Structure 1
Amino acid sequence: MPQLDPSLFATQLFWLALTLIPLYLVLWKVALPRVGDVRARRRERIEDDLKKAEGLKAEAEAALAEYQAVIAQATQKAQDALRAAAHEASEDAARQREALSVRLTAEGDAAQARIEAESRRVIDDIGVIASELAQSAARRLAGADISPEEAVAAVAAAQREAG
């Protein structure tokens, strides 16, 4: 193998140096700075994107907080309106119950008065009916005619005995 022949090492080293030194210089002066520039631009773009993302995140958090505040406020208003409506309905129901109670009490009192008046009228009429019945019974059973005054007196005496 000619690569391992020590007599050819000098020329191989010459050509190696002649090839690698210009390649190294080209890489050092041209390719590596371009790669460095690309990396620097990429790093800057990533940092800018991260800053924008942080800004957008802060805006989103602020919008979320505002949204939650609006929702909480709307919920509170709805609960207040519901409580007010329930309170108003309760008061209205109480007023209606009170009015109904007053009306029913008045109707009950009027009915009671009518019943008492009717009872007194019936009780008063019982004496008349009883005296007429006593006259009729005396006429049919005993064949005797008694006067209305005598019949009323007999009924009154019977009522006193009954108590």
Structure 2
Amino acid sequence: MPQFDPSTWVSQIFWLIITFGVLYFLLSKLALPRLASILEERENRVSGDLEKAERLKQEAEEVLADYQKAIADARTSALAALKESADKIAATGAKRQAEFDAQLKEKVQIAEDKISVARTEALSHIKDVATEVASAAAGKLLGADVTEAKVSKAVDEVLGGRG
């Protein structure tokens, strides 16, 4: 193998230094600046993306907070509207109940008045009916005519002066 031959080492070292120098020059002037600019561009893009992501995250949190506030406001207004409706319904129900109670009271009073009139009328006629029945019964049982004054007096005693 020729690379292990000590007589060719000087030329090998010479070409090694020249190749290394040219390669170093090319890398330092062409490849490394391009790589550095690519890395810097990537770093700028990543930092920009991170800043944009942070900004979007903050905006999303703000939107979420606004959304939650809107939902809370909507619930509050819905509960207020529900309470208002329930109060209106309760007031309407109470008003109708009062009207119904008044109508019912009026009808009960009318019915009681009719009953009272009918009772008074019945009691006023009961004496006449009792007198007629007693007169007819006494006439049939005794076989004689009984005077109406005697029968009326007897009915008054039995009824206790109610008629």
Q: Which runs of 5+ in 2 are unaligned?
A: none
**Structure 1 runs, 4 residues or longer, greater than 6 Å off:** none
For 2:96 and 2:159, how far apart are their aligned partners in 1? 49
Partner in structure 2 of residue 95 of structure 1: 95
Other structure's SS at 2:146 match = coil
For 2:148 and 2:112, how far apart are their aligned partners in 1? 33
How many pairs does the alignment contain? 161
For 1:88 and 1:124, how far apart are their aligned partners in 2? 53
Q: Which runs of 5+ in 1 are unaligned?
A: none
Q: Which amino acid aligns with 1:46?
A: V
Q: Which amino acid aligns with 2:15?
A: W
1:132 has 2:132 as partner: yes
For 2:44 and 2:158, how far apart are their aligned partners in 1? 127
For 1:149 and 1:53, how far apart are their aligned partners in 2? 121
Partner in structure 1 of residue 61 of structure 2: 61
Residues 4-153 of structure 1 aligned to structure 2 (within 5 Å): 4-153=4-153
For 2:31 and 2:147, how far apart are their aligned partners in 1? 154
Q: 1:133: Cα distance to partner?
A: 0.5
**Which one has more relative contact order, counting CA pairs under 8 Å at least 6 apart?**
2
Q: 1:99: Cα distance to partner?
A: 1.5
For 1:148 and 1:23, how far apart are their aligned partners in 2? 161
CA deviations on 1:109-152 (whole Å, 9 max, x unpaired) are: 22122212211211221111111101110121111112333221
TM-score by structure 1 length?
A: 0.90
Q: 1:23: Cα distance to partner?
A: 0.6
For 1:116 and 1:36, how far apart are their aligned partners in 2? 117
Q: 1:77: Cα distance to partner?
A: 1.1
TM-score by structure 2 length?
A: 0.90
Output the aligned Cα RMSD: 1.6
Q: Which amino acid aligns with 2:94?
A: A
